[in-house]
Amino acid sequence: MSDAVRVLVVEDEALIASFVEDALSDGGFEACSVHSGEEAMCTFCDGREGCRVLLTDVNLGDGISGWELARQIREITPGFPVVYMTSASAPDWQSQGVDGSVLIQKPFAPAQLAAAVSQLLGSGASPA
């Protein structure tokens, strides 16, 4: 599975994170999960994980939001593929989301995650 595209998953709820990891694995991807925006920035900037897509919840509790996390990552790597997950913030996507991103409304089917990641990777978004 070492050839699988690695996805940086940012989700503060452990059960949802586990569900997302399983869904990505079933779709042929490898998840690298963290639980906060700050942790995600450290993982991304460190680069050891080799993640090529960001899949983030919008509301991450305390600290930076998924919106802000994606903006910070895009400042470092313009065009980095971003998928947002949200249960309540979909109306804010147009004003808060980064260009070319995808938003998935919770609850969602597992196959939607892999499809969203595949869509972004196939659309010419530039992986890190």
Give mean pLDDT in consecutive 10-residue pieces for the chain, a chain of 128 residues. Answer: 85 96 96 96 88 96 94 96 90 89 93 93 57
Measured between alpha carbons, how far is 36 from 16 in angstroms, rounded to an integer?
A: 13
Asked if the structure places residue 128 within a domain, the reply is no
Confidence (pLDDT) at 123: 60
Asked if the structure places residue 1 within a domain, the reply is no
Boundaries of domain holding 75: 6-122
Model pTM score: 0.90
Give the count of domains, the chain.
Answer: 1
Q: Which residues contact 25 (CB under 8 A, 6 or more apart)?
A: 31
Which CATH number covers residue 60?
3.40.50.2300
Confidence (pLDDT) at 125: 46
Taken in order 95, 104, 13, 51, the sign of the CA dihedral is negative
Confidence (pLDDT) at 38: 96
